[in-house]
Structure 1
Amino acid sequence: MTELSIPSDLLPADGRFGAGPSKVRVEALDALAATGAHLLGTSHRQSTVRKLVGRVREGLAELFSLPAGYEVVLGNGGSTAFWDVATFSLIRERSQHLSFGEFSAKFGAAAKAAPFLAAPTIVVSDPGTRPDPYAEADVDVYAWPHNETSTGVMAPVRRVDGADADALVLIDATSGAGGLPVDVSETDVYYFAPQKCFGSDGGLWLAIMSPAALERTAEIKESGRWIPAFLDLQTAVDNSRLNQTYNTPALATLFLLAEQTDWLNALGGLPAAVGRTTASSDVLYGWADKSDVATPFVVEPSDRSLVIGTVDFDEHVDAAAVAKV
């Protein structure tokens, strides 16, 4: 095979980018460095850190145009930890999960393993496609990802027609929040981590919670269910209202998250951010649609993610060789 070479003027300035943690803006790193000795090393109960947490919560409330009664809650552990948090503190008896990739399957697996819950319904579809939720009389939580990172499928965020009146909708937005359009009033918990669109490091989870989700959390806490302190969502709610976390957070992560959120709001908020991701993804999918050697992996155009692009190469193309270029 002829050696491939991309002209230098077409190469990205930073070639590390992939589906993992995003690049961090240099301006945000400079701002972090400028804090000197006034931030890092400070107790998370001190006003300096609590003001930072408050800045994060207020910035996210602005970015997502929070409806009345919705709250921004945060805790340590990342989205992986939040699947267990939700299993303990949000599912009353039984849940339904949409599984259409590696990451969307994990929350359902956590619920299935919980000895105090009934067996969940797990609705599966082939990679590159997505299933739809459907109403079940005894389901009190419906859960799926806004964006399946492993396949590049984007799912609509809306309430489930015919679901019980008190059923909650939980959306894993880890790789989509901040880059995909969303009306959070269609959800009860819209949760994510800051290492994707929010240009920070991982290890933190953030959840935009509706009044109904806050009530469910309190209800389960009061029921006497045993919940490990680290995974206790009511504890996270109580601490978040004080602009702090239950245990010590990574302050650099919080600071970079705050900087990115402020930057997104200054751009024009979520509509402007979605405009950027739409323009970028249109370039990728437009090329793949016209190419003789590639096609979009996700066949249905409306399901193609704006933030995670996946492309299939012709069988005669050595994809491993292309990836090395």
Structure 2
Amino acid sequence: MIAKPDVKPARPWFSAGPTAKRPGYSLGGLPQDLLGRGIRAPEVVERFAHGLRLTRAVLEVPDSHVLLYTPGSDTGAVEAALWGMLGQRPVQVVAFENFGLTWLADVRDHLGLEPEALTAPWGELPDLSRADWSKDVVFPWNGTTSGVRVPDADWIADDREGLAICDATSAAFAMPLPFDKLDVVTFSFQKALGGEAGIGVMVLSPRAVARLDSYRPERPVPKLLRLTDGKGFDRALADGVAINTFSILTIEDWIDALEWAQGIGGLSELVRRTDANFAALADWVERTDWIAFLPERPEIRSTTSVCLKFLDPRVTGLDEAGQKAFVKRFKALLEGEAAVFDMEPHRNAPPGLRLWCGCTVETADVVAATPWLEWAFETAVGEISD
């Protein structure tokens, strides 16, 4: 039996959402002077606008694009794009993990459209050469639940007729995003920068704004997803005006994360930190015989939401229910020691491990977590044998 490690991660938070708060975070350090003010108060709208300006600066969004907030985190942002923009052209949905499959079902079953589906098994990508840019194409940049990402943007046509609608919630602030290739980019506060949940962000290219200006879907669009007014795209949204009542404290928390990101060096440093965390975990995976990456191809492995699969026949020989029970015990062992929290995969993903390696995680904590993973595995496997 392997000995219990002596050193724990200083910050043992590895959830894929909400992700770890930034190093040095303090709730008490957030400004509180606007709490309790009306959502339409000029000072509050300006604070929301300030958050958008900081988001643009840190994410290096071109001046040609507009940013706005949506209710409902990344899910709300994606749904606003689907409900408000789709239907003018045929649609393709690239689905290689849980959320891509969700967008596919929504487009087909709730919008009543007939999308072409480009799918792949867990751990793989579809054939991206089949993307048809005469159509609107909906896709995740990084599959939070499968640990798979698109390797680059070469498959996205520069002369596309349709829109490139990209769910980038576990890629933004951790991987460079080519905004010249993307027409709608969505993400949420609670992913890569460890913000609080409930608010999403959309980045719209001029082509996406033109779609909202010119196209009115026949279906009614719920108020919470409505990006237009009587004239087209509601330009007030790009100035910090909220669709509905948002949490001011959540916005202050977001601004705090963005100011931290700016202070440490901006996007390049966020990507560097993410890559260093992934490299530390990858080094452990490569020298550990009972675990492997869910995606077998290195070029498509996510550096943020890292998904792993078991190789040991004592685990793989169990049925699905048995493997899920093993993961549950694995998790309980780690959390009982307050060593590693929230390392389980998404409920719809294959049984295995999932650890967030985004920029708010410290590399030293990734390194410190791996002996605990080994201890928990040996302990849980020993219990199976007994």
TM-score (norm 2): 0.76
> Which residue number in structure 2 is paired with residue 295 of structure 1?
292
Q: CA deviation at 1:178?
A: 0.9
Paired with 1:12 and 1:40, the residues of 2 have a C-alpha distance of: 34
Q: 1:209 aligns with which of 201, 204, 225?
A: 204
SS of residue in 2 equivalent to 1:170: strand
- 1:29 counterpart residue number: 27
When the two structures are aligned, how many residues end up with a matched partner? 316
RMSD: 2.3
Could you tell me which runs of 5 or more consecutive residues in structure 2 were left unpaired when the two chains were aligned.
316-325, 335-386
SS in 2 for 1:98: strand
Q: How far apart, in 1, do the equivalents of 2:285 and 2:5 lie?
A: 19
* Counterpart code for 1:190: V
- Whichever residue aligns with residue 167 of structure 2, its letter is D
Q: Displacement of 1:115 after TM fit? A: 4.6
Residues 8-87 of structure 1 mapped to structure 2, 5 A cutoff: 8-9=6-7, 11-25=8-22, 26-32=24-30, 35-36=31-32, 38-87=33-82
Gap change, CA 1:5 and 1:316, over 3 Å in 2: farther
CA distance in 2, matches of 1:115, 1:101: 20
From 203, 207, 222, give the equivalent of 1:228.
222
- Tell me if the contact between 1:159 and 1:169 (Cα under 8 Å) persists in the aligned partners: no
Question: Which one is further off, 279-288 or 163-172?
Answer: 163-172
Q: Write the mapping of 1:1-325 to structure 2, written as runs, cut at 5 A.
A: 2=1, 6-9=4-7, 11-25=8-22, 26-32=24-30, 35-36=31-32, 38-91=33-86, 92-115=88-111, 117=113, 119-133=114-128, 134-136=130-132, 139=135, 141-158=136-153, 160=155, 165-221=160-216, 226-235=220-229, 237-316=234-313, 320=327, 321-323=329-331, 324-325=333-334
Please give the secondary structure, in 2, of the residue aligned with 1:27: coil
TM score, norm. by length of structure 1: 0.89
For residues 50 and 252 of structure 2, the distance between their equivalents in structure 1, rounded to whole angstroms, comes to 9
Contact 2:188 2:199 in 1 (8 A): yes
Q: How far apart are the structure 1 equivalents of 2:36 and 2:267?
A: 32
Distance 1:199 1:96 in 2: 31
CA contact (8 A) 2:54 2:255 kept: yes
Shift of 1:16: 4.0
Shift of residue 95, structure 1, vs aligned partner: 1.3
Letter in 2 for 1:279: A
Amino acid at match of 2:57: E
Segments of 5+ residues of structure 1 without an aligned counterpart are none
Q: Indicate if the aligned counterparts of 1:155 and 1:303 stay in contact, CA closer than 8 A.
A: yes
Runs (4 or more) in structure 1 with deviation over 6 Å come to none
Q: Does the CA contact (< 8 Å) of 2:123 and 2:147 recur in 1? A: yes
* Worse overlay, 73-82 or 189-198: 73-82
Amino acid at match of 1:77: G
Percent identity between matched residues is 24
Higher relative contact order (CA 8 A, sep 6+): 2
Quote the Cα distance in structure 1 between the aligned partners of 2:52 and 2:176. Answer: 19
Q: Which amino acid letter does the alignment assign opposite residue 241 of structure 1?
A: A
Q: Which amino acid aligns with 1:46?
A: A
